């Protein structure tokens, strides 16, 4: 799964990306800082199941600290989109195409309103305008692709299947196509839509195919009233206030041993080796995190993966009694799976041969057998049994 970080220029996308990954993404206060898409690994956080089981854990594919699992996920940061991007303005379609493989999107906006829709400094610009602009640009972009294949679509009576094939690179499903068409009262047999209808369909389809969460960034430079106003205007959206700059500063301070900080925490401790200047700045950031229950950056990522993409966490083991793998590591792997997935799909994600030879699984908590089509539940601990074992 892949989450894309999008937005107009100079809203703090690269800062948030770097805060999440601590990668060396270029950060600067001018439009189009990101020329090539940045790919990185971030970590979603969730309470580890070892507390429920009353055992310690020895992670292999993730990290556990203070009872919290940090599970690696993929994110991509692309260059800022400006009005008219689908027509080639700004960095144009090049970066729209970088979002094709994303499963969900985090749109970064400037909740302080000090940068306009093109990323230029200003006295006030409503961040809700940015949200609508991005929707329009993405909708126009997808509609342009659909209209370019209008002739071929018009010849197909199985329009949902035809559209699914056309947009296979977007991971679009026939079910999503049908829902988007129904929401716009559009027929799917021998599609012959106007450009306007295609755009309306595209906007709806993208909302289903690439759900969106709003990162209301630069909250440290803003007021709570502006965040409340933005949430009121975007009542149908998920909006999270955050400060990428403070999160990045805390991550760097933690990396350098100046503070003890866990991502997503609302407080942190300052070590004795901090200079007076560092301590002053850190106390300011501590006041912010305590007032806002954290920087908000980790919450944005968690909600993208757990709420938008509806992931759960499961723990495969080889010994259902000790909860270990064959090396003796306790709860070694925490794996993200879409809610509704089966244990057979879990086996396939681990290894194709494991799925091919699977007989059944054992629920390690209940010590009972479950079938291959058992629907996974959050925090399941499972042993997969294969032929020959």
Instruction: Enter the pTM of the model.
Output: 0.93
Q: What values do phi and psi take at 253, rounded to 5?
A: -65, -40
pLDDT confidence of residue 15: 95
2-37+78-233 topology per CATH: Helicase, Ruva Protein; domain 3 (1.10.8)
Question: Kind of pairing, strands 269-270 and 238-241?
Answer: unpaired
Q: What is the pLDDT along the chain (389 residues), one digit of tens a residue?
A: 999 999 998 999 999 999 999 855 555 555 555 556 688 999 999 999 999 999 999 999 999 999 999 999 999 988 777 777 666 665 556 656 778 889 999 999 999 999 999 999 999 999 999 999 999 989 998 999 999 999 999 999 999 999 999 999 889 999 999 999 999 999 999 999 999 999 999 999 999 999 999 999 999 999 889 999 999 999 878 999 999 999 999 999 999 999 999 999 999 999 998 999 999 999 999 999 999 999 999 999 999 999 999 999 999 999 999 999 999 999 999 999 999 999 999 999 999 999 999 999 999 999 999 999 999 999 999 999 999 75
pLDDT confidence of residue 111: 98
pLDDT confidence of residue 99: 83
Written as six digits, the tokens of 121 are 């400094």
Question: Which residue from 172, 174, 205, 201 is spatially nearest to 186, judged by alpha carbons?
Answer: 201
Question: Which residue from 344, 288, 289 is spatially nearest to 316, judged by alpha carbons?
Answer: 344
Measure the CA–CA gap between 244 and 29, rounded to whole angstroms. 14
pLDDT confidence of residue 295: 98
Measure the CA–CA gap between 280 and 276, rounded to whole angstroms. 6
Measure the CA–CA gap between 210 and 171, rounded to whole angstroms. 9
Determine contact, residues 14/284, Cβ cutoff 8 Å: no
pLDDT confidence of residue 79: 73
pLDDT confidence of residue 85: 65
Domain ranges across the chain? 2-37+78-233, 313-386
Measure the CA–CA gap between 237 and 132, rounded to whole angstroms. 11
pLDDT confidence of residue 74: 94
Q: Please give the torsion angle defined by the CA atoms of residues 20, 21, 27 and 31, in that order, rounded to the nearest 10 degrees.
A: -70
Terminal CA-to-CA distance of the chain, rounded, Å? 32
By three-state DSSP, how is residue 240 classified? Answer: strand
Measure the CA–CA gap between 108 and 290, rounded to whole angstroms. 22
Determine contact, residues 382/316, Cβ cutoff 8 Å: yes
pLDDT confidence of residue 96: 66
Residue 60 is classified by DSSP as S
**CATH number of 313-386, picked from 3.40.50.720, 3.90.228.20, 3.10.20.30, 3.10.20.600:** 3.10.20.30
Predicted confidence (pLDDT) per residue in 187-233, tens digit: 999 999 999 999 999 999 999 999 999 999 999 999 889 999 999 99
Domains 2-37+78-233 and 313-386 share a fold: no
Beta carbons within 8 Å of 29's beta carbon, 6+ residues apart? 10
Question: Which residue from 132, 162, 157, 135 is spatially nearest to 146, judged by alpha carbons?
Answer: 162
Question: Which residue from 260, 131, 138 is spatially nearest to 199, judged by alpha carbons?
Answer: 138
Determine contact, residues 316/348, Cβ cutoff 8 Å: no
Measure the CA–CA gap between 293 and 64, rounded to whole angstroms. 21
pLDDT confidence of residue 259: 97
Burial of 337 (0-12, 13-18, 19+ CB in 10 A): buried
Determine contact, residues 355/347, Cβ cutoff 8 Å: yes
């Amino acid at each position: 799964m892949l989450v894309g970080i999008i937005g107009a220029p100079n809203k703090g996308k690269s800062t948030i990306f770097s805060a999440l990954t601590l990668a060396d993404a270029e950060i600067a206060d001018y439009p189009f800082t990101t020329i090539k898409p940045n790919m990185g690994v971030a970590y979603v956080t969730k309470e580890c199941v070892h507390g429920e089981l009353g055992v310690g854990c020895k992670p292999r594919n993730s990290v556990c600290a203070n009872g919290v699992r940090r599970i690696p996920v993929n994110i991509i940061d692309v260059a800022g989109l400006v009005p008219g991007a689908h027509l080639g303005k700004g960095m144009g379609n090049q970066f729209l195409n970088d979002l094709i493989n994303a499963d969900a999107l985090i749109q970064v906006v400037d909740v302080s309103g000090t940068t306009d829709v093109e990323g230029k400094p200003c006295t006030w610009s409503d961040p809700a305008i940015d949200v609508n602009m991005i929707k329009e640009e993405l909708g126009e972009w997808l509609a342009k692709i659909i209209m370019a294949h209008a002739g071929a679509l018009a010849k197909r009576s199985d329009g949902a299947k035809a559209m699914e094939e056309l947009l296979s690179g977007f991971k679009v499903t026939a079910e999503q196509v049908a829902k988007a068409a129904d929401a716009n009262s559009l027929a799917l047999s021998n599609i012959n839509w106007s450009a306007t209808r295609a755009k309306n369909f595209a906007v709806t389809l993208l909302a289903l195919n690439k759900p969106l969460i709003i990162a209301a960034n630069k909250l440290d430079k803003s007021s709570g009233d502006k965040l409340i106003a933005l949430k009121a205007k975007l009542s149908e959206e998920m909006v999270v206030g955050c400060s990428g700059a403070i999160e990045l500063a805390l991550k760097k301070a933690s990396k350098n041993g100046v503070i003890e900080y866990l991502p997503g925490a609302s407080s942190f401790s300052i070590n004795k080796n901090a200079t007076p200047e560092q301590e002053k700045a850190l106390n300011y950031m501590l006041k912010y995190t305590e007032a806002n229950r954290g920087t908000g950056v980790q919450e944005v990522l968690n909600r993208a993966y757990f709420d938008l993409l509806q992931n759960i966490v499961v723990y495969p083991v080889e010994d259902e009694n000790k909860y270990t793998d064959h090396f003796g590591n306790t709860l070694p792997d925490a794996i993200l799976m879409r809610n509704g997935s089966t244990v057979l799909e879990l086996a396939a994600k681990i290894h194709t041969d494991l799925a091919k030879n699977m007989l059944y699984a054992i629920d390690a908590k209940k010590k009972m057998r479950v079938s291959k089509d058992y629907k996974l539940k959050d925090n399941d601990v499972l042993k997969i049994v294969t032929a020959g074992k």
